[in-house]
Chain A
Amino acid sequence: MSATNCEDAQRRFFAYLDRALADEDVEALEAHLEACLECCDRLEFSRRLDSFVRSRLGEASLPPGLEERVHRALAVVAPPSEEP
């Protein structure tokens, strides 16, 4: 990625936050960020939004009876046999 403009930079924000950008793209994006406060603010918002969504998804509590239900379902199915 060469001569990064704001649009290019912003299209790469999520992959950057997911650590999925190639090294050269990371370098180009970070070079752009050093010179562009507007993109820094936008990236910070994307980072905050990601962390906000993760925190709000939380852990689901196990419904009562589900473990028993799964046990019962597994009990009536014969697993495939295979000699070791």
Chain B
Amino acid sequence: MAVRLATKRAAFGPEGVMDRRGFEDRALPHLRALYGLALRLTGDASAAEDLVQETYLKGLQAFVTLRDPDRVRPWLFQILSRLVIDRRRASGREVPLEPPGDVDRFSLYDRIADEDPLPYSDKLHEDFLARFRDEDVRRALVRIPEAYRVPLVLVYVEGLSYRELADLLGCPIGTVMSRLHRGRKALERELWDCALLRGFIKGEKS
């Protein structure tokens, strides 16, 4: 009870009423991390800025409900991720997912071995990956369907556990597992397509 009172008090300002200053002191140090997540999720700087602003506005309104102010960072990440998911659902622009088999069958490991784009390399797979620019990887990630991208980015950028992802996305852990598997497979295929476009290899776009 004492802990609860202490944490609750922390959310309130000098007049005993939750104030903006208390929220800003705790939430604004995470601005850069939130922007980084928003950028990886949307792939667009302007959309990411709007998303971050909306996250803070929602956060201010809901701050009194946060029981443990030390958990403000994951809580803000959760608000931001939910905004992305809800917006896309509301817009009806959610990209239909491919039948799982088509995604699951793709193997970047096999494609690299079959095409052998660097015949003189004794560490073919490693050298192949080294040819991508940072921008290629970010673009590839933005192109994969959002249902796969959101959990994947949260694992890569924030290291969320499957349990945390299941709570955030409102789905069973098994669904998280299959989305992360397919997300990585979709990313492998996007990287392969990027390699074709950039001329690392010659062949048909998959």
Residues in chain A within 8 A of chain B (CB atoms) = 11, 14-15, 18, 20, 41-42, 45-46, 48-50, 52-54, 56-63, 66-67, 69-71, 73-75, 77, 79-84
Bound: A63/B177 CA distance, A: 34
Q: List A contacts of B161 (CB < 8 A).
A: 20
Q: What band does the interface of chain B fall in when counting residues whose beta carbon is under 8 Å from A?
A: 35 or more
Residue B155 is within 8 A (CB to CB) of chain A in the complex: yes
| Contact B36 A70, beta carbon cutoff 8 Å | no
CB B109 to nearest CB in A, in angstroms, measures 5
Q: List B contacts of A59 (CB < 8 A).
A: 32, 36
Residue B91 is within 8 A (CB to CB) of chain A in the complex: no
Residues in chain B within 8 A of chain A (CB atoms) = 8-9, 12, 16-20, 23-24, 28, 31-32, 35-36, 39-40, 45, 49, 52-53, 56-57, 60-61, 63-64, 108-109, 125-126, 129, 132, 134, 136-138, 141, 155-157, 161-162, 173, 177, 180-181, 184, 187-188
Q: List A contacts of B31 (CB < 8 A).
A: 62, 66-67, 70
| Contact A48 B129, beta carbon cutoff 8 Å | yes
Chain A residue at minimal CB-CB distance from B61? A80
Bound: A61/B49 CA distance, A: 12
What are the 6 A-B residue pairs with the smallest beta carbon separation, nearest first? A56-B137, A60-B36, A20-B162, A56-B134, A45-B109, A60-B39
